Amino acid sequence: MSYFSELALQYIDGEWRSGTGSWDIVDVDPYTGDKLATITVATVGEVDRAYRAAARAQQQWAATNPYTRRLVFERVLRLLEEREDAITLAIMTELGGTALKAGFELSLVKDVLRDCLQLSVGLEGRLLPSTAPGRENRLHRLPVGVVGVISPFNFPLFLAIKALAPALALGNGVVLKPHQETPVVGGTLIAKLFEDAGLPPGLLNVVVTDIAEIGDAFLEHPVPKVISFTGSDRIGRHVATVAAAHFKRTVLELGGNSALIVLDDADLDLAVSAAVFSRFAHQGQVCMAANRILVDRVVEAEFTEKFVARVAALTVGDPKDPATQIGPLINPVQADALTAQVDQSVAAGATALLRGTTTGSLMEPVVLTGLAADDPILRRELFGPVVLVLPFDGEDEAVRIANDTPFGLSGAVHTADVERGVRIAHRIEAGMVHVNGGTIADEPAVPFGGEKNSGVGRLNGESTVDAFTTVKWISVQRERAVFPF
């Protein structure tokens, strides 16, 4: 099937329908600029119908035998594998993702779905002792009801499924609002997979829309009890504020400004490989990407020479070409904005060790060093193929520089002494730090999330259960109770 012609619709209460909003979202190939699809946006009324449908369907779904729920995820996984070639092409076309990126994203999605097989049947209750004679305390894990999911454009298939699939596995209903740049891969394609896998109608709804049409209706609606948002810290702050005013829980996976630290005893070839991947995977449009490479002055010259040579050899171009390692950014606006930041830093005295050109959405790699301590680019999330190389003298300065950012998502430390690396990792203000690895990593059993402006809450494993369930205390008085009056 042609995903972009068949799935350019809303998916509400088990039906494919056109939106009735006053304008259209135009889905565009970021490399060619070709129009892929036109989708009329959903209205406030359609958002309401989606949430109401999820609430109705959720009650029966929660009562369904968990082993029966599990079958849906088995079938989704099988369909994903059967349609992998078509989905890979869709990722390349709508996102500008390379073959490597598409394969990486799909492997992450499969991991989530496999984990949902266990999650579907894994909820356990607890018995706790009581201070009252003859009383039995029972704790039950229950689904929250309905979860609203807002997904980003960079890994839209994975980051939507990472939230919505576990939420469904735990007995919830879901309404998904994909990013308007990736409405198919991040939205309606997912709905199609779950529909074909036999998910009951109404449980999963996809509304393709924008705040220009619906305002905060997606967040304020009375049905969802949890809002899961992945995106920028600026929007995340707004989501948190609105949700809190309505007593909703939030899971916020926000931006990053990760540092990869190269100590004086590091394996430089390994560190170079880790740094290149950590910065330039998917053109640097990864929240965990290493914006800053911190290098001990003892090895700075050797590391920098090897690093710049590796970056200069990266192939930039058509994401559908198997040889391409860096494809386009999501749109020309993003590319131009990042280019302007680079221009400002160079004008302020930074040295460009490598400076490519920007044409449309394609931006060739940039390596900057010699930045002023107060350069704003040091504290921003750089969502593109730009990297900053910063020298340091000793561990304390490395930690200080790494922590000199409002973000705290990921990080990495390279050293021959693993325990030295662990000691430094403990000092870095980030939710995840990897010794002798890259800054980009995600595993289904390990809590994923950040500190500071990088978010609130965690997903994966037990953290996902905490995010999408609630606890109910039921006490049973087995002996006759005595009351004071």
Q: In this structure, what is the dihedral angle of CA atoms 178, 441, 391, 307, given to the nearest 10 degrees?
A: -90
Q: For residue 187, what is the DSSP state?
A: I
To 5 degrees, how large is the angle CA 207–CA 107–CA 171? 50
Handedness of CA 438, 442, 448, 454 (dihedral sign): positive
Q: CA-CA distance, 360 to 357, in Å (whole number)?
A: 10
Amino acid, single-letter form, for residue 435: V
Q: CA-CA distance, 293 to 354, in Å (whole number)?
A: 15
Amino acid, single-letter form, for residue 241: T
Q: Is 380 left (phi over 0), alpha (psi -120 to 50) or beta?
A: beta
Based on the residue annotation, tell me whether 287 is a catalytic residue of this protein.
yes
Q: CA-CA distance, 194 to 201, in Å (whole number)?
A: 10
Q: In this structure, what is the dihedral angle of CA atoms 151, 154, 155, 161, given to the nearest 10 degrees?
A: 10
Of the candidates 94, 181, 253, 395, the residue annotated as catalytic is 253
Identify the helix (H) or strand (E) that includes residue 51. Answer: helix 44-63
Q: Is 461 left (phi over 0), alpha (psi -120 to 50) or beta?
A: left
Identify the helix (H) or strand (E) that includes residue 435. Answer: strand 434-435
Of the candidates 287, 300, 381, 395, the residue annotated as catalytic is 287
Based on the residue annotation, tell me whether 116 is a catalytic residue of this protein.
no
Tally of residues, the chain:
485
Q: 358 pairs with which residues across the strands? A: 363
Catalytically active residues, by annotation: 253, 287
